[in-house]
Structure 1
Amino acid sequence: MNNDREDFWDKQSFVIITDNTKPAMKYTIDELNKRGKEVYIFDLSANPNKGDIKSVDDIPYNVENAVLGITTSNPADFVQALKNRGCSNFWIHWRTETPEIEDIKDHDIQIIKGKCPMMYLGKDFSIHGLHRSIAKFAGKY
């Protein structure tokens, strides 16, 4: 039986907001690309890759999901801007939650927080698969 966290990854389009402080964000991008998903990367670091999005205004309208793994900026600052562009599903990487994220109470959006994306995207025979098994066993999946 799927849960909201598993269903999140079934969507087709994603914007990934990273500042390169969370290594799992690169793995998330790689895995989504392998699965044939439409992936847009907004890199807030000092050295974004050529072709990465440079501002929220460059994110296409109606991207279904946003994954935020940033520690140098407040992820809550991006939620409303992305909602205005038609995004309604947000994944806030564990240990990047802020009080402002906790304060968002908007019934038109879904925010998943406190989980690493790779626990749901990682292969079974990997450190992420082991983490997933432990989380399931502990009832924290």
Structure 2
Amino acid sequence: MLKNYIFTLLFISWVLFVTVLSLFSFSDLDTGRVNIPYADKITHFSFYAMFAILGCLFLRERTKGNLGLNKAINLMVFVAVFYGMLIEVLQHTLTTNRMAEFGDVIANTFGAFVGVGLIKWYFSKERPLKWKF
């Protein structure tokens, strides 16, 4: 039975993971001496690319592929971008040591588009895996 809900569980877990990491402070955490330029933006990009990928697979799983690929992609881009903006607003209003950044919204949006682009490529006609069950 759990096998039937794997992408649902993964997507919900990922959303919770992103939410916790976005709204809680980890300023006491020692990051060491490694300084990667734009690591914050790379993290945002990666988080929302995975958000979009898992979200599309979640929609495919829940609708058994009856929600068309393009509709699922459009819906997931909207959800991911909206959620990314919502998290930035919540960081600004609810937290004292986190701040909203427009660059984060751009990285989130770009990540979401790359994520759905990978889904579109993966389920394209050249690939053996089909969107519908």
- TM bucket (normalised to shorter chain) is under 0.3
Higher strand share: 1
Higher helix share: 2
Relative to the length of structure 1, the TM-score reads 0.24
Please tell me whether Structure 1 or Structure 2 has the larger radius of gyration of its CA atoms.
2
Relative to the length of structure 2, the TM-score reads 0.25
The higher relative CO (CA closer than 8 Å, separation ≥ 6) is in: 2
